Amino acid sequence: MKKAPLALLLLLAACSQPVAQPEVASISTPPSASAGAAAQEQRPRERLDMTPEDLDALNAPYDQCMAGFGLDKKGRAEASQSQPMKEEVDRAVQACASKVPLPPWEKDPANPEALDFAQRVVRCLREKGVRYVEVLNEPGAEMITWSLGGPNNDAASITLGLEHAKECEIASSRK
């Protein structure tokens, strides 16, 4: 018996006309502008644990885009073609820019913790015996990372650093 009035109330509410809401000014980003920004942010992103095969697959769309312009991923013409003009290469690079993978978040300059991550990796590499290793954080660089070998390109530091880099990156990502 108690359910009948509730059911009637729900039925009446469902059949009634919605009340018109007044237009209110908003400071949010217009949908068209936010859609463009979202599309730009859809670039693929590398991960620290990616294998060489994973990286090849991640870079394949960019490589295919450049190939559509008759260029390799570095903007050079295929062997059978003459070198294109700078404007043509610039046009291809701009058209394919949305397919260039972003660096791993741990190395991305947009990440406020990227410098701390790089310092942890350097500390780990030094613990593994790498003598010449330092944080590389240049203004405008695509990523914050580290440099091996020092000013004299110490071969032992480079070899040992490359041997332990992936291990130290993964360990450092766990804090």
Strand partners, 133: 148
DSSP SS3 for 112 = coil
d(CA 140, CA 119): 19
Q: What is the mean pLDDT of residues 135-144?
A: 92
Q: What is the pTM of this model?
A: 0.66
17-74 pLDDT per residue, tens: 444 444 433 333 334 444 444 444 589 999 999 999 999 999 999 999 999 998 988 8
Q: Does position 158 have pLDDT exceeding 90, yes or no?
A: yes
Choose from 5-9, 87-91, 160-164 the range with maximum mean pLDDT. Answer: 160-164
